[in-house]
Every structure is written in C-alpha cells, then in structure tokens.
Amino acid sequence: MSHQPIALPPQIHVFVRDWLSSNNVLLKSDDGDVVIDSGYVAHAPLTLSLLSTPQALGSGPLAKLVNTHCHSDHMGGNAAIKARHGCPIAVPEGEVPLIDAWEQQTLLLAYADQRADRFHYDEILKPGASYVWGDLEWQALAAPGHDMGALVFYNPEHRILVSGDALWENGYGFVMPPEIDFRALPATRATIEMLASLDIRIVIPGHGEPFSDVSAALERAHSRTSAFEADSHRLARHALKVVLSFALLDKRRLALPELPDYVARIGIYRDFNRLFFRLPPVELARWLVAELERAGAARRAEGWLVPA
C-alpha cells in the first residue's frame, strides 16, 4: 500500500509508533494540549521524549491524556505521562470496571504476558458524547469488538476518525473467539458497519500511518470478519500469533527450549489450546514458531526466537 502524505489540520500531530506501542495523537490548542493513547510501558521513556520535543509540547504542560481503549499497548504509558505532566486521564466508560479491578484477562495483562503501570483515571468518556480537544469537536462512538469498551473519536468537520484498534489500514486488533467471549465477533461486525455509515476522509489508526483509502480498509475488515465468522479456529490461531509476536517485541528474544513451558503457563495459550488445538505444549510451541517464521515475524538464532 503506497502512502501519499496525508494532510491533517495543523493542530493534529501523529506520532506513528510500532506494534508494541500504539500511536500517540497529539491535539494542540491554546486551551491545553491533549494526547490520545500512551503506548506500551516498556516504551514510556520514548513516549515522554517524543511528547517533549519542541514541535510537540515543548516545555508546556499536557492538559489531558485520553485512551481509545485500555489494552496494554495503549495505556501502558498512562502512569508515566501522568507522573511527568500531572494531567488528568480520561478513559472510556466501558473500561472503568476493568481498570478499577485491574482485570488481568480483558485488559490483556498477565493473561497475555503483558504489562502496564497501574494508573488512576480522572474522567469517564461516554459513548455518544462530544468533546473538544485541539479546538476540534470529537464525537466519542462506541466501537466494541477487539475491545468491548473501546471508543473511536470522529471529527465531522474534517471527517477524521481516530480509530484505535477498531480499524487499521489492513485489518483490526485481534478479536476473542466466541468460545471466550460470544459478544466480540458480532460486535466487530456491527462496529465495521457503523464505521461504514460515517463519512470519513482520513483514519488515524492505533497502529500504522494515517490513511485515506477508507473504503478499501473497510472492505478488508469486512472480508476478514466474514472469514473469522466462518471459522473460529482461524480467529484463535490469529490471536495466538499476534500475542506471541507482541511478547517477542516486548522481551526482544524468547528461549526456544522454554517455549513449551511458556505456552502451558500463560493463560491465553493455555485456554486456547484447551478449547481449540488440544496439542501437547511442545507441539503448540513448535507450530507457533513455524507460523511466526512463515509470516516473516521471527527467526531462530542459537536457541532463541528473535524478531525478524
């Protein structure tokens, strides 16, 4: 997919990150700067320094931190940003009970061997409400599926969507199979249909560059969803590959001899293996390694699995 530079209103700055940290979207205003999503905890120092560059905040304070949803790669830097800037944190209403309980499965923490620094939120964002950030009006729209409490933020004036993990240029964040959460896949389809009903010119996704060929992205999301609906094993395979790739980026390398014990111990692999694969852990680990190699995401090096 080729990328023309996308012309955004001057107060919107997108820090395009990677697959470990979500993008950070900075919305500048004389009334106070707002940032959407804070990246992964291991990258918190980098996030702080990106935000402190002269073209970002400079020496000025941050007025607010907002989350599209509360997975570890979007809220992992919340505590560090709040400690640095003393700013309030606003989270989607649907995430509040999970944050209150610091729930390890749905927030994708210990259940997926991911981490985040615990934080306290100050404001609750409600689906259907509108907020003014960066002198622009943003409609908060419920976008359940990948995360059942997720919001997207839509600016009708410039027809810009901040989509989090609900829509990427090529797909969306992995969705729990019906055997784990029966609501997730139907919600994913409903969210794609909701997004297709909006007049969107530019999407600023949670991962990857902003893009403008929105109808093609929606079409890909639509066909991916149909394939998942036809085969929940496919959903399970996809999710485990994504989660292991993430662990590999987080830890930088995984000892191959320890992988069978790892997939037997970490909740998401254990549960998915019991529900879908029913493989000895050594077989599940071998299959995952082969899949990551085949996808070009990882390679073997002297007893280690490393990012390719």
As a whole number of angstroms, the distance between CA 251 and CA 38 comes to: 19
Nearer to Zn ion by Cβ, of 43 and 71: the residue is: 71
Nearer to Zn ion by Cβ, of 87 and 175: the residue is: 175
CB of 68 to Zn ion, least distance (A): 8
Stretch that binds Zn ion, among 77-85, 155-163, 168-176, 268-276 (CB under 5 A): 168-176
- The torsion angle over the Cα atoms of residues 51, 55, 57 and 59, rounded to 10 degrees, is 110
Nearer to Zn ion by Cβ, of 144 and 210: the residue is: 144
CB of 73 to Zn ion, least distance (A): 6
Nearer to Zn ion by Cβ, of 134 and 145: the residue is: 145
- Decide if 166 contacts 146 (C-beta within 8 A): yes
Q: In this chain, which residue has its C-beta nearest to Zn ion? A: 71
Determine the size of the site formed for Zn ion (CB under 5 A): 3
As a whole number of angstroms, the distance between CA 255 and CA 156 comes to: 49
What is the 3-state secondary structure of 105-135? CCCCCHHHCCCCCCCCCCEEECCCCEEEECC
Q: Rule CB under 5 A: say whether 173 interacts with Zn ion.
A: yes
Nearer to Zn ion by Cβ, of 57 and 162: the residue is: 162
Q: Rule CB under 5 A: say whether 165 interacts with Zn ion.
A: yes
Q: How far apart are the first and last CA of the chain?
A: 21
As a whole number of angstroms, the distance between CA 39 and CA 46 comes to: 9
CB of 266 to Zn ion, least distance (A): 18
Nearer to Zn ion by Cβ, of 192 and 305: the residue is: 192
As a whole number of angstroms, the distance between CA 67 and CA 76 comes to: 10
- Decide if 153 contacts 134 (C-beta within 8 A): no
Binding string, 18-57, against Zn ion, x = CB under 5 A?
----------------------------------------
Q: Rule CB under 5 A: say whether 145 interacts with Zn ion.
A: no
Candidate residues 13, 71, 238, 241; the one interacting with Zn ion per rule CB under 5 A: 71
Tell whether the torsion through CA atoms of 73, 74, 75 and 78 is positive or negative. Answer: positive
Q: Rule CB under 5 A: say whether 237 interacts with Zn ion.
A: no
Tell whether the torsion through CA atoms of 196, 201, 203 and 209 is positive or negative. Answer: positive
The residue ranges that bind Zn ion (CB under 5 A) are 71, 165, 173
